[in-house]
């Protein structure tokens, strides 16, 4: 069996175990900080996940990319950011959401390991461009998920302030408990814009290195195709969001809408294309 599949399956099992540990800790005690066992376990699983991504991408000597592998790599980089941020900011409650996502992402790659070999992979500039682009996509993906979490937490606060009675059904109670475990909305908002700034800088570098690669390989700096158009629309959306934040003080639902719009453009540029080619057209 392919080692990339094995490592991704082991990483999925590790994230599932961390999910169970996190839920047990939060359910038995109101404190949401990670225990020493959880933090050590997350460190080990992140190392295993990183090895799995490396093996799937470069294990046979070629450079491979695919829909599921892109999601796995994106979640891996995002979880590294979470791990680093959690050392300084009280955001440990987010693991109740991120550990299940990590389990799903790694299991998806284990089940659908197909990908395509990237042409001209011996080019150093191309490898740099792909690494930067993948990092940018990862940061923006995590920012979009973070925005959805903020929207849910904000709605939860409005429901409580309006004295709305939560549903007695078990799924509703579980959902409410998950939202109660996340950090305050203002902390989430600061983290969101930190992720957006990192993602925007990386996306800018990805566009610039993409221009260099395109000029070298095809003689056209900016080919007029859907990938280029949607990438530039995403870059423009996040640039306007950050400008609006500095000039007009955009926050709350306005920031969430712009974040999700920018992510949607990037999704259409990259993952949407890979999904159609690999799972619908089987190319």
| Helix and strand totals (H; E) in the chain | 10, 2
What percent of the chain lies above the pLDDT cut of 70?
80
Task: Write out pLDDT tens, residues 137-196.
Answer: 888 988 888 888 888 777 766 665 555 555 555 555 555 666 666 667 788 888 889 889
> How many CB atoms sit inside 10 A of residue 22's CB?
25
- Would you put residue 163 in left (φ > 0), alpha (ψ -120 to 50) or beta? left
Of 79 and 269, the one with more pLDDT: 79
Q: What is the pTM of this model?
A: 0.76
Torsion of CA 15, 90, 78, 269, to 10 degrees: 130
Nearest to 59 by CA among 103, 7, 100: 7
Residue 59 has pLDDT above 70, yes or no: yes
Residues 241 and 192: their CA atoms lie apart, in Å, by 12
Q: Using one digit for the tens of pLDDT, what is the confidence trace for 272-281?
A: 555 544 444 4
> Residue 117: phi, psi to the nearest 5?
-75, 130
Mean pLDDT, the chain, whole residue set:
81
pLDDT of residue 281: 47
The rounded distance, in Å, linking the Cα atoms of 251 and 274 is 33
- CA atoms of 69 and 113, how far apart (whole Å): 7
- Tens digit of pLDDT for each residue in 199-234? 999 999 999 998 888 887 777 777 777 788 889 999
Please list the residues that pair with 116 across neighbouring strands: 65
How high is the pLDDT of residue 16?
96
pLDDT at 280: 47
Give me the DSSP letters along 22-91. Answer: HHHHHHH-S--PPPHHHHHHHHHHHHHHHHHHHHHHHTTSS-EE-HHHHHHHHHHHHHHHHHHHHTTSS-
Structure token digits, residue 245: 């934040």
């Amino acid at each position: 069996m392919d080692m990339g599949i094995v490592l991704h399956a082991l990483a999925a099992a590790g994230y599932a175990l961390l999910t169970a540990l996190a839920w047990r800790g939060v359910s038995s005690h109101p404190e949401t900080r990670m225990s020493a066992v959880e933090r050590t376990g997350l460190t080990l699983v992140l190392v295993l996940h990183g090895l799995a991504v490396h093996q799937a991408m470069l294990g046979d000597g070629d450079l491979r990319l695919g829909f599921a592998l892109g999601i796995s790599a994106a979640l891996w980089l995002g979880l590294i950011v979470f791990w680093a941020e959690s050392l300084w900011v009280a955001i440990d409650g987010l693991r109740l959401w991120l550990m299940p996502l990590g389990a799903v992402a790694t299991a998806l790659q284990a089940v659908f390991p197909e990908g395509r070999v990237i042409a001209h992979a011996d080019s150093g500039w191309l490898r740099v461009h792909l690494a930067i682009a993948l990092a940018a996509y990862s940061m923006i993906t995590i920012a979009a998920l973070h925005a959805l979490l903020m929207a849910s937490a904000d709605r939860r606060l409005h429901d409580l302030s309006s004295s709305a009675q939560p549903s007695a059904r078990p799924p509703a109670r579980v959902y409410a408990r998950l939202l109660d475990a996340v950090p305050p909305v203002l902390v989430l908002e600061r983290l969101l814009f930190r992720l957006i700034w990192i993602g925007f800088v990386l996306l800018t570098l990805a566009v610039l290195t993409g221009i260099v690669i395109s000029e070298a390989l095809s003689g056209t700096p900016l080919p007029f195709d859907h990938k280029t158009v949607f990438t530039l629309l995403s870059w423009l959306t996040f640039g306007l969001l950050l400008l609006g934040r500095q000039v007009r003080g955009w926050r709350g639902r306005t920031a969430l809408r712009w974040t999700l719009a920018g992510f949607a453009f990037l999704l259409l540029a990259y993952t949407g294309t890979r999904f159609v080619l690999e799972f619908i057209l089987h190319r």
